[in-house]
Amino acid sequence: MSGVVIAGLTGGIASGKSTVAALFKRAGAVVLDADLIARQVVSPGLPAWRAVRSLFGATALQADGTLNRAYLAGVVFNDRKLRRQLEGIIHPHVRMAMDAAIHRLRDNGSHAVVIEDIPLLFETGMTQGLAEIIVVYTPAVIQLQRLLKRDPIGIEEARARLAAQMPIEEKCRRGTIIINNSGAPEATESQALKVYSDLMAQARALS
């Protein structure tokens, strides 16, 4: 009998969520990356790609037909209505792809920890069926500093991107497990490995 425990992983922009996801993957978890899947479901010719093209027009496409993600980001981060329309196109396809991956794992008959890495987990309401919701916490002031260091954008755009997401404090209130990523990398790794160990114990208990 298989035991699959599914946990959500989220955080704010530049909070270090990707770092924690990599730690989980290295420990043995199956990580389903919503951002990666979102890129896949908008490949040229697919239904989500056609819907995005219809909404934004040809200016949303690059010369090879793929979506111009930089252009779209610049548009939707400053227009809540368009952002929600774009999310309404892409997120259902991401959800279907994740569900299909989980079904395959369960059919394999092995126990596993599945981490659904979803930046906008709460904003999109993709919380159903999760055993735990892990929030990677970094104070907003550090998020801003890291974002400015990471991306070639100005401070106003950086603030707009932070404002487009739910405040990190609210995400922490809604989560069930908090990983504090404001300290040394070793401290973050220690927390992540402890969480993985606990989730794996839950998976074995289901077997």
Tell me the per-residue pLDDT of 94-150, one tens digit each, with 9 for 90 and over.
Answer: 999 999 988 888 787 666 899 999 988 998 888 988 999 999 999 989 889 989 988
**Whole-number average pLDDT of the chain:** 90
pTM value is: 0.86
- Cα–Cα distances (Å) from 162 to 7, 12, 203, in that order, read 24, 8, 35
- For position 17, what pLDDT does the model report? 93
Whether the pLDDT of residue 1 is over 50: the answer is no
Q: How far apart are CA 40 and CA 47, in angstroms?
A: 11
> Structural domains in the chain?
4-37+93-206 (3.40.50.300)
pLDDT tens profile 6-53:
999 999 888 999 999 999 999 999 999 999 999 999 999 999 999 999
Using one digit for the tens of pLDDT, what is the confidence trace for 147-200?
A: 998 888 889 888 888 887 889 999 999 999 999 999 899 999 999 999 999 999
Handedness of CA 159, 156, 94, 26 (dihedral sign): negative
Whether the Cβ atoms of residue 23 and residue 107 lie closer than 8 Å to each other: no
- Of 135, 128, 110, 117, whose CA–CA distance to 200 is shortest? 110
**CA-based angle 96:119:74, to the nearest 5?**
100
Model pLDDT, residue 55: 93
Q: Which residue has the tokens 């010369």?
A: 63
pLDDT in tens, 10-22: 998 889 999 999 9
Q: What pLDDT score does 2 carry?
A: 61
Q: Which residues contact 82 (CB under 8 A, 6 or more apart)?
A: 55, 75, 76
User: pLDDT of 67-103, one tens digit each?
Assistant: 999 889 888 877 889 988 998 999 999 999 999 988 8
